[in-house]
Amino acid sequence: MSSAVSITLVQQPFIVAAVAQNTAKVLEIAAGSQSDLLLFPELTLTGYPPEDLLLRPDFQLLVEQSLQQICAAKLPNTLVLGHPWRDGEALYNAASVIQNGAVIARYYKQALPNYGVFDEKRYFTEGTEACCFELKGQRFSVLICEDVWQGAPAALAKEQGADWALVLNASPYEIGKAQQREELLQTLAKHLHLGFVYVNQVVGQDELVFDGQSLVVSPDAQLVFRGKACEPELATVNLAVPGQQYGHTELAPRLSVEAEVYAALVMATRHYIQHNGFPGAVLGLSGGIDSALTLAIAVDAIGADKVQALMLPFAYTSSMSVEDAKAQAQVMGVEFDSVSIEPMYNSFMQQLTPLFKGKGKDTTEENLQARIRGVLLMAMSNKTGRMLLTTGNKSENAVGYCTLYGDMCGGFAVIKDVPKTLVYRLADYRNSLSPVIPQRVIDRPPSAELAPDQTDQDNLPPYDDLDAMIEAYVEHDKSLPAIVAMGYDEATVRRVLNLIDINEYKRRQSAVGPKVTSRNFGKDRRYPITSWMRKQR
């Protein structure tokens, strides 16, 4: 006789290599739960992705000891949790089903992603079999993340008589991904008449953001539960006997693109700083929109008392920039200092001018300003122990509109994967919550202020056009003729694509930053520095 099963979706952060802490969290959550079953994310015990730590025998030993500790607790509920597992010579991305102090079933992930940000075939062997168990008369199968995207493992689970698939996930965030997950699970449920309980971890891990938004979809494809975006939660759902309708659903509101991206950036920044043990953050506040948005994210992530902003003006810095930077710092309540870089610049030029031997001014002098600022910011980071946040956006990083060892200095690039057009939308969104970014920072033409009356469009196409070209080339692999066919001037497109190609060396030395688009500059896109691709166009 079947009856309803109460299941808790453990949408929580699990930190990479914090095996002891992750184990303690599992035990604490389980001990405080009255649910029949608790479902944890993919690689619960090690965090995801552990990368080459998986190759270390001592790391695997920690996992084995962790599982022994959890079994020894003899918890009254059933636990399904993820971990790496070595069986003979093969290492698997595994999930164990633990009841009454024993592992009653173990599943090996069948579909190993090896594209984009994923490298699972570097470490793991593919599983080949379904894994099912029964609880209160209902039959459950276990799947792990990519298994549902490939489809065949879910079909195999249904063939084994499963009523529900329990899906452990470490599914990284990108714009539009949450809706894709919902549509995928509802399509599979409708096709297979199989219910899905899908738990996703919620944590920032270097350049990856795991956004939660866990799901429950009934065997008749009804969306029963949707978890919050970028917030930890323990959500309990009663799984009805297949065939019964759900009179009550609990659906967290679906966020706008701007709200979702902003939440992802805040969580990524918070976790990078906290999990790496930094006491706070420091950044250069220029009076421009990129640093203004970065400051807002930093304060929302870790609190105003842990953030320091430095204004580093020069002769070309407008009074408007100085005023706006100071005004924002005051509104947000952060420590604020202003130091002119002019004496240092003059000292450098006194030494460099004889070496330049009469050569005219060019970008060398502009880059020197940025590098002096980088030295001062790194000095403050060094002295206080705070993480230096860089403020460059995806558009600038794409075409190299940034200075190596200058404004690229720092340890975490908060908006590295945010196109300039989205930067403006995020600034408007943040101000809709409370006005913290001066409106004229948003309204004025963007400028690096490294030369008199300079604007970004002196050197770059309008950002609407530039971002469209970057997206087409970087995220969709479109060719030069295909991008020209979108309505852009061929000479401009050729110049933009060449800039993207030749600046790979800069991006390779840039700080890590959170991925939010479908393809970022990092794990997603691995291009050679030395390449003649542009000469083949």
pLDDT in tens, 399-450: 999 999 999 999 999 999 999 999 999 999 999 999 999 999 999 988 776 7
Distance CA 229, CA 257 (A): 11
What is the residue range of 283's domain?
260-536
**Domain shared by 275 and 218, yes or no:** no
**115 annotated among ligand-binding-site residues:** yes
> Which residue would you say has higher pLDDT here, 289 or 448?
289
pLDDT in tens, 330-371: 999 999 999 999 999 999 999 999 999 989 999 999 999 999
State both tokens at 408.
Answer: 């690229």
In 3-state terms, what secondary structure has residue 60? helix
Cβ atoms within 10 Å of 167's Cβ, excluding its own:
30
If pLDDT is split at 50, 70 and 90, which confidence band does 226 have? Answer: very high
**276 annotated among ligand-binding-site residues:** no
CATH number at residue 390: 3.40.50.620
**291 annotated among ligand-binding-site residues:** yes
Residue among 211, 194, 347 at smallest CA distance from 267: 211
In 3-state terms, what secondary structure has residue 285? coil
**289 annotated among ligand-binding-site residues:** yes
If pLDDT is split at 50, 70 and 90, which confidence band does 536 have? Answer: confident
pLDDT in tens, 459-511: 789 999 999 999 999 999 999 999 999 999 999 999 999 999 999 999 999 99
Residue among 192, 229, 271, 187 at smallest CA distance from 14: 271
From 67-76, 166-175, 457-466, the region with the lowest mean pLDDT: 457-466
**Domain shared by 201 and 230, yes or no:** yes
Q: What pLDDT, on the 0 to 100 scale, is given for residue 406?
A: 97
**Domain shared by 224 and 278, yes or no:** no
Q: What pLDDT, on the 0 to 100 scale, is given for residue 446?
A: 81
Show which of 254, 280, 297 is a domain's final residue: 254
pLDDT in tens, 233-272: 999 999 988 777 776 789 999 999 999 999 999 999 999 9
Distance CA 288, CA 374 (A): 17
**Domain shared by 220 and 264, yes or no:** no
Q: What pLDDT, on the 0 to 100 scale, is given for residue 457?
A: 76
Show which of 203, 226, 254 is a domain's final residue: 254
Compute the average pLDDT of residues 283-300.
98
Show which of 199, 230, 254 is a domain's final residue: 254
State both tokens at 109.
Answer: 């992930």
**Domain shared by 376 and 448, yes or no:** yes
Q: What pLDDT, on the 0 to 100 scale, is given for residue 19?
A: 98
**290 annotated among ligand-binding-site residues:** yes
Cis before 113 (ω within 30): no
pTM: 0.96
**Domain shared by 244 and 288, yes or no:** no
Helix (H) or strand (E) holding 58: helix 57-72
**Domain shared by 279 and 246, yes or no:** no
**Domain shared by 212 and 76, yes or no:** yes
**Domain shared by 436 and 367, yes or no:** yes
Phi/psi at 344 (5° precision): -70, -40
pLDDT reading at 27 higher than 90: yes
State both tokens at 224.
Answer: 């029963």
Catalytic residue among 131, 132, 145, 230: 145
pLDDT in tens, 78-87: 999 999 999 9
CATH number at residue 232: 3.60.110.10
Compute the average pLDDT of residues 108-135.
97
**367 annotated among ligand-binding-site residues:** yes
**Domain shared by 162 and 293, yes or no:** no
Residue among 477, 489, 309, 496 at smallest CA distance from 391: 309
Distance CA 205, CA 268 (A): 7
In 3-state terms, what secondary structure has residue 166? strand
Distance CA 44, CA 80 (A): 10
**109 annotated active-site:** yes
Percentages of the chain per state (helix, strand, coil), in multiples of 5: 40, 20, 40
Catalytic residue among 25, 109, 478, 523: 109
**Domain shared by 248 and 301, yes or no:** no
Residues 192, 154: contact at Cβ < 8 Å? yes
Sequence-separated (6 or more) residues with CB below 8 Å from residue 61: none
**42 annotated active-site:** yes
Catalytic residue among 42, 260, 366, 449: 42
**177 annotated among ligand-binding-site residues:** yes
Sequence-separated (6 or more) residues with CB below 8 Å from residue 102: 71
Residues 282, 377: contact at Cβ < 8 Å? yes
Q: What pLDDT, on the 0 to 100 scale, is given for residue 247?
A: 65
Compute the average pLDDT of residues 79-99.
98
Number of domains in the chain: 2
**Domain shared by 171 and 66, yes or no:** yes
**506 annotated among ligand-binding-site residues:** yes
